[in-house]
Amino acid sequence: MVQAPTPSRPIPGSMVGASLLAYVLVSKFDDQLPLYRQNEIFARMGADIPRSTLATAIVFLWTSNPTYFTVLLIARLHAGGRADLSDATS
């Protein structure tokens, strides 16, 4: 029996796949959905992903490729969009 190779992961040593990271990033920065609410949504679906895990993934991606995210942020600001980076509720 031959086993297929494991797909590459965006974060080495993590079980988080690219599609989950894309969903979390779009929900956080485009849909303005705080991480604690994403955590509650995932828990309702049966996937208990702690908020700290989501935050660690975002920080890892940001620090591993800051130029990419900085260009996206600047483009959004130039387009007249908002740049809410806080997870605080008001």
Residue-range domain boundaries for the chain: 18-78
C-beta of residue 61 within 8 angstroms of C-beta of residue 69: yes
Cα distances (angstroms) measured from residue 60 to each of 8, 17, 47, 77, 79: 16, 13, 21, 23, 26
Global pTM value: 0.68
pLDDT in tens, 34-73: 999 999 999 999 998 999 999 988 888 888 877 777 777 7
Closest CA to 50 of 60, 61, 58, 40: 40
Q: Diameter of the chain by CA atoms?
A: 56
More confident of the two residues 44 and 7: 44
> What pLDDT score does 83 carry?
59
More confident of the two residues 83 and 58: 58
